[in-house]
Amino acid sequence: AQSVSQHNHHVILSEAASLELGCNYSYGGTVNLFWYVQYPGQHLQLLLKYFSGDPLVKGIKGFEAEFIKSKFSFNLRKPSVQWSDTAEYFCALSGNRDDKIIFGKGTRLHILP
Amino acid sequence: DVKVTQSSRYLVKRTGEKVFLECVQDMDHENMFWYRQDPGLGLRLIYFSYDVKMKEKGDIPEGYSVSREKKERFSLILESASTNQTSMYLCASSLRDSNQPQHFGDGTRLSIL
């Protein structure tokens, strides 16, 4: 079965701390992987995506993610978080068989100033 | 920049009413999607459409229907609203390709009394 699992539902960090949000997936084929972010009161927007090539993907606002095929993982990282990173983060995948995207349940990130 | 516009940010309806949620995109995208977003459950796909007059059921289609008479417009219909349909509804669109990200509207927060 196709699925996306995000390990942490709620993460609280202080400013300048390093961030890693876990994401594992289950899919029997080639995948495209995404991280979306939803800032308070705003629409979901794309942070970064991977579909081929370099497994280390850089996105907006200093975020990056690494696709590790052997671990079925696509963890999101940022070396030093800011208060403005407070948001909900969603990992997602699509397969090459159709254009649907499967979302994880999300991780609420709260940054303390 | 892609613009996905949902007709209402907030909507209050009564049990048993027929409810229409409208979504319009301005980038000539083939694909359009309706999700509901609930705390702790992430985004769940209700219906999607790959083309005009075409629709496919998502993961939770019960109690909903959709209409896509024009490429830019995708409507979600609650045939007889019930209190368990109180939720945030998100519309999205994308190009036809599984590695293309989805672009989201601001959402409609629907309350059924």
Query: Could A9 and B40 be called an inter-chain contact, meaning their C-beta atoms sit closer than 8 Å?
Result: yes
* First-residue to last-residue Cα distance in chain B: 37
Q: Report whether pLDDT(A34) > 80.
A: yes
Q: What confidence category does residue A100 fall into, taking pLDDT thresholds of 50, 70 and 90?
A: confident
Share of chain A above pLDDT 70, in %: 97
Mean pLDDT of chain A: 93
What is the per-residue pLDDT for B100? 83
- SS3 call for A67: strand
Alpha carbon separation from B51 to A21, A92, B103 (Å, rounded): 35, 23, 17
Residues of B whose CB is below 8 A from A49: 99, 101
Residues of B whose CB is below 8 A from A44: 90, 92, 104
- Report yes or no: A48 and A58 within 8 Å, Cβ to Cβ: yes
Q: Report whether pLDDT(A7) > 90.
A: no
What is the per-residue pLDDT for A30? 86
* Amino acid identity at A8: N
CA distance A100 to A97: 9
Question: Using one digit for the tens of pLDDT, what is the confidence trace for B50-102?
Answer: 999 899 999 999 999 999 999 999 999 999 999 999 999 999 999 988 778 89
Mean pLDDT of chain B: 94
Give phi and psi for A83, each to the nearest 5. Answer: -55, -35
What is the per-residue pLDDT for B14? 97
Nearest by CB: B107 against A34, A43, A45: A43
CA distance B102 to chain A (A): 8
| Torsion, CA B52, CA B57, CA B61, CA B62, rounded to 10 | 110
When mean pLDDT is compared across A37-46, A56-65, A98-107, the lowest value belongs to A98-107
CA distance B90 to A110: 23
Q: Report whether pLDDT(B103) > 80.
A: yes
Q: Which residue has the higher pLDDT, A29 or B14?
A: B14
- SS3 call for A62: helix
Per DSSP, what are the bridge partners of residue B52? none
Question: Using one digit for the tens of pLDDT, what is the confidence trace for A42-89?
Answer: 999 999 999 889 999 999 999 999 999 999 999 999 999 999 999 999
Pick from A3, A50, A100, A108 the residue to mutate for testing the B interface (most B CBs within 10 Å).
A100
CA distance A6 to A92: 10
> How remote is the C-alpha of A44 from its chain's centroid?
12
What is the per-residue pLDDT for B97? 80
- Report yes or no: B54 and B30 within 8 Å, Cβ to Cβ: no
CA distance A8 to A89: 10
Q: Report whether pLDDT(A96) > 80.
A: no
User: DSSP per residue over A20-82, as a string?
Assistant: EE-EEEE-SS-EEEEEEEE-TTS--EEEEEESSS-SEEE-GGG-EEEEEGGGTEEEEEESS--
CA distance B23 to B34: 9
What is the per-residue pLDDT for B96? 87
What is the per-residue pLDDT for A28? 82
What is the per-residue pLDDT for A54? 93
| Torsion, CA B2, CA B5, CA B10, CA B14, rounded to 10 | -140
